[in-house]
């Protein structure tokens, strides 16, 4: 079966590559920031009503190939900058060089996103609720884990290691993720647990992240039940580019003297380096990172390595071939829960020194072929191998879970007002463990999606996907996931958007078949688990307020059926079962204000939710009612002073230790930055008030720590 798939892909690759090119020209140039003259990497350059476009590299350079002579509108856009549109006239055999200077702004601007409809789309007019986290946001916060970087996105929070979009996930240590995570559009959930390995790629290799909220199975299938996070990696640069980040820091003493458990210094080092260059039509990018920490608690030792490589080949017929691989290895001690609340930074004595390894490898090849400015195709094959790093793997009872996938997608604009994406996804999972035996599964999923511009002010979206998932020798599941949406701009600066759809998540192999146990705990299988289903609806408005402020308010409602949650019985056996019905309704807000242009800015987000278990008439497990984020930033020439405040209300209901004291999360991070040419020196204080809260039951959040970071591009 696998061989046949590879053969089909190979034939398609060759066929596409053999098509002859027409007489075409290219447009190239640089995109810089108007006031400072700094390069703007990641800006989008697109030719309107076509699929022709590019993103700027590390040096702000862009190049669009394969343009046939004619008259076009060129659009340059970047989040946080005023867009530029230019009429251009292309003559045969005359390449164009065009440079652009973009001006900063806080109001809603044009930004190209690709996650909401699997084709380039303007964020401002997208029907779906989607947020973008730019590289500059990630860098400023000096994040070193991808899930932490997402905490400034409206409606997003972390409960334990589970990312929650509008409260969709809750907390489910061994259960599958209800947020689908993609790496450059490729699903990277593990094939056994259906979990996310957030450490698969270093944060420094991320160009930006797109967070699609709501039902997304109509585009991405199983797992996208409450949303999608698409991690988009950096492209190789045209010229030499060497980037580095060196961060070292110390953990403070705990604010509770009784919790002090060692006199030794607790510290961390994080080193990230990357090199990028192009030789002729081939661009390449290599990166290596090493993170090491003693941790702030007992069993806190951590050592992590990342190796990442990307090749981007501009083929003579204006098609492109991208090859990417990333490997990460983590060796760490494990802190499952505290010994007791009087020793909150210690593990129970029998667990001292428990450690495990986590390995992840993801590789893909993507071939893009542009047949004409309005017809393009994408062929992709990928390989995802993950060795789980959960505590029950102390006995090394797992082998790496392997996921193979492939995709053929066609994007077609039959008319300037219609844009269609259609394709087929294929996936194959292979997993093996002492706890659930050997399992194999295949999935094949055709989908189609259309964006229909009824006018410049009104746009409709519709899509549907059929997923067929076969667990070899066991069962066959079929799910149809439709979605519709619209956006309407009644006046300039005001855009209403709405979307509704259905989504699902198939039970993972672990949820259905795990049979494992220790002295204290035993997991029982439940082969009859049904898939979870959700129906989601959201309605919002994006509003520019004058020239210096922007707000977005979205109301949402999500109904869940057959939620898969673990239950813990009195004899300490646990099993995943289907809960019947749940509903999460709420309002999400975001407000950005340039209070004093270039000097003082504010960003604030707030989300209110009512997560209910409908049948039991009680709050849903592990969901907060309110999450908020507040971030003021001051700039004085080369200096900047910024703060982030994160708030999450107390979890109303938890499963394992409900009688334990629980408090809201209230964390201040403060940073001072100094920028000189291409270098930046940054001093961070995380958890500045040394506030104590739990990230999951009986696990404290990180205590106050200080970090000094030097980063730059050579």
Partner 1 sequence: MKKILLIALLFVSGCEIDHGLGPLKSRITGKISFVNENFKPDNIDALRPIAVTKWDPENFSLSDIVIANTSVNMSKENPDYYIPAPLGSYELVAIVYRKKGQGWNYTQILGFYGFDPVTYTGESKIVTLSKTKPIAGEIDIVCDWTWAVGIK
**Which residues bind to partner 1, rule: CB under 8 A?**
255-256, 258-259, 339-342, 344, 348, 517-522, 568-573, 655-656, 658-661, 663, 666, 689-694, 700
Nearest distance, CB of residue 571 and partner 1, angstroms: 5
Complex with partner 1: residue 103 or 340, whichever CB lies closer: 340
- Bridge-based pairing state of the strands 121-122 and 61-67: unpaired
Complex with partner 1: residue 378 or 646, whichever CB lies closer: 646
Nearest distance, CB of residue 566 and partner 1, angstroms: 12
Nearest distance, CB of residue 347 and partner 1, angstroms: 10
d(CA 142, CA 684) in angstroms, rounded, equals: 8
DSSP state of 343: B
Nearest distance, CB of residue 666 and partner 1, angstroms: 7
Contact indicator for 195, 388 with CB cutoff of 8 Å: yes
Nearest distance, CB of residue 256 and partner 1, angstroms: 5
Nearest distance, CB of residue 596 and partner 1, angstroms: 17
Contact indicator for 681, 673 with CB cutoff of 8 Å: yes
Complex with partner 1: residue 572 or 596, whichever CB lies closer: 572
Complex with partner 1: residue 585 or 692, whichever CB lies closer: 692
Nearest distance, CB of residue 258 and partner 1, angstroms: 5
Nearest distance, CB of residue 553 and partner 1, angstroms: 30
- The enclosing H or E element of 557 equals strand 549-568
Residues in CB range of 463: below 8 A, 6 or more apart: 117, 218, 219, 447, 448, 449, 450, 482, 483, 484
| Phi and psi torsions of 639, nearest 5° | -100, 145
Complex with partner 1: residue 339 or 496, whichever CB lies closer: 339
Complex with partner 1: residue 348 or 527, whichever CB lies closer: 348
Q: Hey, how many other C-beta atoms are within 10 angstroms of the C-beta on 518?
A: 12
Q: What sign results for the dihedral spanned by CA atoms 558, 562, 565, 571? A: positive
Complex with partner 1: residue 10 or 657, whichever CB lies closer: 657
Nearest distance, CB of residue 590 and partner 1, angstroms: 26
Complex with partner 1: residue 519 or 677, whichever CB lies closer: 519
Angle at Cα 558 formed by Cα 552 and Cα 560, nearest 5°? Answer: 160
Complex with partner 1: residue 348 or 416, whichever CB lies closer: 348
Strand partners, 426: 406, 444
Complex with partner 1: residue 538 or 613, whichever CB lies closer: 613
- Three-state secondary structure call for residue 193: coil
Complex with partner 1: residue 95 or 660, whichever CB lies closer: 660
- Three-state secondary structure call for residue 220: helix
d(CA 343, CA 333) in angstroms, rounded, equals: 18
Contact indicator for 88, 48 with CB cutoff of 8 Å: no
In this structure, which long-range contacts are made by residues 278-282, counting pairs with CB atoms below 8 Å and at least 24 apart in sequence? 278/236, 278/237, 278/238, 278/239, 281/313, 281/314, 281/315, 281/316, 282/311, 282/312, 282/313, 282/314
d(CA 334, CA 285) in angstroms, rounded, equals: 33
| Phi and psi torsions of 9, nearest 5° | -60, -40
Number of residues that this document lists for the chain: 714
Complex with partner 1: residue 307 or 706, whichever CB lies closer: 706
Contact indicator for 359, 328 with CB cutoff of 8 Å: yes
Nearest distance, CB of residue 337 and partner 1, angstroms: 8
Radius of gyration in angstroms for the set of CA atoms belonging to the chain, rounded to a whole number: 25
| Phi-psi region at 493: left, alpha or beta (left = phi > 0; alpha = psi -120 to 50) | left
- Bridge-based pairing state of the strands 100-102 and 25-33: parallel
Nearest distance, CB of residue 693 and partner 1, angstroms: 5
Nearest distance, CB of residue 176 and partner 1, angstroms: 23
């Amino acid at each position: 079966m696998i061989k046949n798939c590879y053969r089909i892909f190979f034939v398609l690759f060759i066929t596409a590559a053999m098509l002859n090119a027409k007489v075409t020209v290219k447009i190239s140039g640089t995109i810089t920031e108007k006031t400072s003259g700094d390069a703007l990497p990641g800006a989008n350059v697109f030719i309107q009503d076509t699929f022709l476009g590019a993103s700027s590299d590390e040096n702000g350079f862009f190049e669009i190939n394969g343009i046939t002579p004619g008259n076009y509108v060129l659009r340059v856009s970047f989040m946080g900058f005023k867009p530029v549109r230019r009429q251009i006239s292309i003559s045969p055999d005359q390449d164009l060089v065009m440079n652009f200077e973009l001006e900063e702004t806080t109001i809603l601007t044009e930004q190209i996103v690709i996650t909401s409809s699997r084709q380039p789309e303007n964020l401002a007019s997208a029907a779906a609720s989607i947020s973008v986290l730019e590289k500059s946001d990630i860098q400023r916060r000096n994040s070193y884990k991808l899930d932490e970087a997402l905490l400034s996105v409206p409606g997003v929070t972390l409960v334990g290691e589970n990312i929650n979009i509008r409260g969709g996930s809750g907390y489910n240590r061994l259960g599958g993720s209800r947020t689908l995570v993609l790496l450059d559009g490729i699903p990277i959930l593990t094939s056994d647990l259906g979990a996310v390995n957030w450490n698969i790629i270093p944060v420094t290799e991320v160009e930006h992240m797109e967070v699609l909220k709501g039902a997304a199975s109509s585009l991405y299938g199983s797992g996208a039940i409450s949303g999608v996070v698409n991690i988009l990696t950096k492209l190789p640069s045209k010229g030499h580019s060497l980037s580095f980040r060196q961060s070292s820091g110390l953990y403070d003493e705990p604010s509770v003297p009784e919790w002090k458990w060692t006199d030794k210094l607790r510290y961390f080092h994080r080193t990230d380096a990357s090199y990028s260059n192009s030789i002729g039509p081939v661009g390449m990018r290599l990166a290596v990172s090493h993170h090491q920490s003693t941790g702030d608690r007992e069993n806190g030792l951590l050592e992590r390595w990342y190796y990442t490589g990307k090749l981007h080949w501009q083929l003579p017929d204006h098609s492109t071939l991208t090859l990417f691989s990333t490997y990460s290895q983590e060796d760490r001690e494990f802190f499952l829960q505290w010994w007791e609340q009087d020793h909150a930074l210690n593990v129970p004595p029998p667990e001292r020194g428990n450690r495990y390894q986590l390995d992840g490898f993801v590789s893909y090849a993507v071939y893009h072929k542009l047949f004409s400015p309005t017809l393009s195709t994408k062929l992709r094959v990928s390989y995802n191998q993950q060795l789980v790093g959960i505590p029950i793997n102390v006995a090394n009872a797992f082998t790496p879970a392997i996921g193979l996938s492939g995709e053929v997608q066609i994007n077609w604009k039959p008319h300037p007002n219609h844009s269609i994406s259609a394709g087929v996804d294929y996936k194959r999972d292979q997993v093996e463990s002492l706890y659930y035996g050997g399992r194999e599964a295949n999935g094949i999923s055709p989908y189609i999606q259309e964006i229909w511009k009824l006018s410049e002010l009104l746009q409709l979206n519709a899509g549907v996907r059929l997923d067929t998932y076969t667990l070899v020798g066991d069962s066959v599941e079929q799910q149809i996931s439709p979605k519709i949406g619209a956006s309407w701009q009644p006046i300039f600066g005001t855009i209403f958007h709405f979307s509704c759809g259905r989504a699902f998540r198939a039970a993972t192999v672990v949820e259905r078949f795990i049979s494992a146990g220790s002295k204290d705990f035993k997991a029982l299988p439940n082969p009859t688990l049904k898939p979870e289903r959700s129906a989601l609806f959201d309605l919002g408005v994006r509003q520019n307020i004058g020239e210096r402020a922007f707000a977005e308010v979205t109301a949402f409602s999500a109904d869940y059926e057959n939620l898969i949650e673990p239950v813990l019985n009195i004899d300490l056996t646990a099993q995943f079962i289907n809960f019947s019905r749940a509903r999460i309704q709420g309002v999400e807000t975001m407000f950005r204000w340039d209070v004093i242009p270039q000097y003082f800015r504010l960003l604030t987000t707030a989300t209110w939710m009512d997560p209910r278990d409908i049948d039991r008439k009680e709050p849903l497990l592990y969901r907060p009612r309110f999450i908020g984020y507040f971030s003021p930033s001051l700039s004085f020439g080369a200096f900047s002073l910024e703060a982030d405040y994160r708030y999450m209300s107390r979890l109303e209901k938890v499963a394992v230790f409900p009688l334990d004291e629980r408090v809201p999360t209230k964390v201040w991070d403060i940073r001072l930055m100094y920028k000189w040419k291409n270098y930046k020196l940054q001093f961070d204080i995380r958890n500045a008030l040394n506030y104590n809260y739990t990230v999951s039951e009986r696990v404290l959040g990180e205590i106050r720590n200080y970090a000094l970071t030097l980063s730059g591009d050579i």
